Amino acid sequence: MALDMAGAQAAPRATPRARVRRVLTWLGVALLAGLVALLAWLWNPDRPRAALEARYAAPPSTFVTVDGVRFHLRDTGPRDGQAVLLLHGFGASLHTWEDWAAILDRDRRVIRIDLPGFGLTGADPTRDYTDDRAVVLLEGLLDTLGVARTDLVGSSMGGRIAWRFAAERPDRVRRLVLMAPDGFASPGRDYGQVIRVPFWMNLFTLTLPAPMVRGGLAPAYADAAALTPEVLQRYRDMLLAPGVRRAILDRTEDNVLVPPEPFLRRIAAPVLLLWGEADRMVPARHAADYERVLRVSRTVVLPGLGHVPMEEDPARSVVPVREFLGE
């Protein structure tokens, strides 16, 4: 038996099989640790409401309950000024309008809300996210706020709700601004088509990694720099508000397109169609669909801006809106 110079017994060399076993053990530990880290990254439960309200619902935010729905809203500007109600698009919140509101509420009463199923308004207890339900809730909100007649601005999905409300309640709308509104059929989405959410999509209520949110938002901006870390965090936090992801799945199944022409022809209010020239989500060429049906309309296309011009360049994009509402 060999001895080293100190007289100690030499350690036996590991056999090839032992070395392989050791490597496999370390690989297994590393794989398990990686899997745990991945699951922790993917696991995104709802954020506590109190924490979200502390961060995103400071004054002038307030809450008003209409037919069981607790609306998160901001209502600023002179109470005797002409009211204007702002409706955001899919996945957004009232915060998308804040730069515009700071300009418009100098001489107008500016009301912006989180639509049911989004933001800090959260889920509608009825789980009904049809446009018919939206019309009832918006009329109830105006009644609660004491607004007899309003100017109405809607972006994307909010634009579809806006034109539907203007058609159904013409006496409540003075002027209408539609920003890249939703409503006409498109390839892969036909009238009367019911979208059945597959069972695996329920995983959406448990996960929402930041890259997923960024990937969904990026096409809305012509200038990628406009999607700042702060904006991305706000969008993600609003999607992680209690009940919002479940409400989005419910809304997806409720969102059945109907031919818009009969509704658009009934709109009596003058309409401004506002589009970003670089809109990749609802391209500006879609303005022609509305122009051929609406009684009184004009179109303004904003060069270099995308789907959310009120976020990308609020000072420039609000100008045609102020001029139109002031006529």
Identify the helix (H) or strand (E) that includes residue 39: helix 16-42
Instruction: Give which of 230, 286, 289 is closest to 264, Cα–Cα.
Output: 289
> Partners of 232 in the beta sheet?
none
| Strand extents, DSSP E, the chain | 61-66, 69-76, 83-87, 109-113, 150-155, 173-179, 271-276, 297-302
Q: What is the pLDDT of residue 20?
A: 58
- Percentage of residues in the chain having pLDDT higher than 70: 87
Question: What is the value of pTM for the model shown?
Answer: 0.88
pLDDT in tens, 229-273: 999 999 999 999 999 999 999 999 888 889 999 999 999 999 999
Q: Is 136 exposed, middle or buried (0-12, 13-18, 19+ CB in 10 A)?
A: middle
Q: Using CA atoms, how far apart are residues 308 and 280, in angstroms rounded to an integer?
A: 11
Architecture of domain 49-325: 3-Layer(aba) Sandwich (3.40)
Using a pLDDT cut of 90, give the percent of the chain over it: 78
* pLDDT per position as a tens digit, 278-288: 999 999 999 99
pLDDT at 9: 53
Longest Cα–Cα distance of the chain, Å, equals 104
3 state SS for 277-305: CCCCCCCHHHHHHHHCCCCCEEEEEECCC
Cα(208)–Cα(11) distance, integer angstroms: 52
Summarised one tens digit per residue, pLDDT across range 196-234 is: 878 888 888 899 999 999 999 999 999 999 999 999 999
Q: What is the pLDDT of residues 57-70, one digit of tens each?
A: 999 999 999 999 99
Q: Distances in Å between the alpha carbon of 118 and those of 62, 85, 246? A: 15, 17, 10
Extract the tokens encoding 158: 């909010």
- Is residue 287 within 8 Å of 299, Cβ to Cβ? yes
pLDDT digits (tens, 9 = 90+) for 22-51: 655 665 666 555 545 554 556 799 999 999
Question: Distance between CA atoms of 103 and 112, rounded to whole angstroms?
Answer: 14
